[in-house]
Structure 1
Amino acid sequence: MVSQRLKLFIPLIVFVVLAVLFWRGLSLDPNAMPSALIDKPVPAFSLPMLENTDRMVDQDIFKGKVSLLNVWATWCPTCYAEHGFLVTLAEQGVPIYGVNYKDDVPAAQKWLKELHNPYVLSVVDADGRLGVNLGVFGAPETYVIDKEGVIRYKHIGVVDEKVWTQTLQPLMAKLQ
């Protein structure tokens, strides 16, 4: 008789446990995804430049200056949302390199021509191999690269004024 009454509370106990787990999940930052590449060099690559697909560049482009590496694509609505702010950063002298991720080259070239190009240069990652090596979950993602070409931070999602002033700018200043 007592065990039958206890069975009545099992759904309530399960509900309470699930509610606690759900509440805990809501407090987590979805952009705080760990990256195995933090404090490691940018993965080796040799890819064509978007602006001149006959010219190949490699990971050595990051040596000598603290910079941002931004993974973007024309099919990405969130990339469109952050693009204007990246243009503003570039106008302020922030060096930003782009990885045009699994995109149509003519569409990407047209995008930069019409919306302004914030990138020192952008590489074409047509098959997504560099993206896989970087651990890209989806565009946009932005990395802070130090003067030796080492990844120091990874941000998933839009780079906006808040992300820039609270996270990326202080880190870049520290790395200078």
Structure 2
Amino acid sequence: MAEAAERPRSRLIFILPGLVFLVLAGLFAVQLFSGRNPAELPSVLINKPVPTFSLAPLEGLVADGKPVPGFSNEDLKGSITVVNVWASWCGPCRQEHPLLVDLAKDPSIRVVGINQRDNPDNARRFLGALGNPYAAVGVDPNGRASIDWGVYGVPETFIVGPDGTIRHKHIGPLTPENFGAFKEKLRTVAAK
């Protein structure tokens, strides 16, 4: 009798891991083929005011003979602002940089940067070599402000409306392939 009770239990030991695997594989497949873009993770900050912060400038960074200022949440009101979180040690940041330089040529858009967990000398060299698209650069040495923005890693780019509300979050580098869609988001914010 005890032997008969053991048989179903031993079968269960062999079947259960297979069932767990199939359920997990099914969940992964649903996510993979759902058509959702993993670079567009939902953010609880969309349509909310930017977090309260104040970042010091990148010391020694100069544009047109004047120091480039740091910035705070109050500075993000009044115009459409693109906030780019970057670092000199970030390879994808280097790849997206020419697109930010191009974007900064549009007088209707203000581009600012949060320099995250970076060596100031390296950050200045990075901007000196590639050009400085930023009207302001705030230094976030310990990443605290970036965490408040919900940043997972660099680069990440936000569109902030003239009212100081986050309208869009782009995770990962801007590329020639996704830059058109990003500019369309900017046009949508401008039309509101």
TM-score, normalising length: structure 1: 0.85
CA distance in 1, matches of 2:19, 2:91: 42
Which residues of structure 1 form unaligned runs of 5+? Answer: none
> Any stretches of 5+ residues in structure 2 without a counterpart?
none
1:64 to partner: Cα distance? 1.3
1:154 CA drift (Å) = 0.8
* Residue aligning to 1:37: 45
Q: Percent identity?
A: 36
Q: Which one of 106, 114, 120 corresponds to residue 135 of structure 2?
A: 120
Taking only aligned residues, the RMSD between alpha carbons, in angstroms, comes to 2.4
Shift of 1:145: 0.3
1:12 and 1:37, CA in 2 relative to 1: closer, same or farther beyond 3 A?
Answer: closer
Residue aligned with 1:75, SS: coil
Partner deviation per Cα, 1:122-170 (whole Å, 9 max, x = no partner) = 111112121111111111011110001111111110112332212x222
- What is the CA–CA distance in structure 2 between the aligned matches of 1:109 and 1:144, rounded to whole Å? 24
TM-score, normalising length from structure 2?
A: 0.79
Give the C-alpha shift of residue 102 in structure 1: 0.9
Q: Deviations over 1:6-50 (max 9, x none)?
A: 646545434432321221232343222221211122112222222
- For 2:112 and 2:152, how far apart are their aligned partners in 1? 18
Q: Is 1:13 matched up with 2:19?
A: yes
The one-letter code of the counterpart of 2:86 is W
Q: How does 1:76-155 map to 2 (within 5 A)?
A: 76-93=90-107, 94-155=109-170
Q: What letter corresponds to residue 83 of structure 2 in structure 1?
A: L
Greater Cα radius of gyration, structure 1 or 2: 2
The runs of at least 4 consecutive aligned structure 1 residues that moved more than 4 Å come to: 1-12, 52-56
**Contact 1:48/1:54 (<8 A) preserved:** no
Paired residues in the alignment total 175
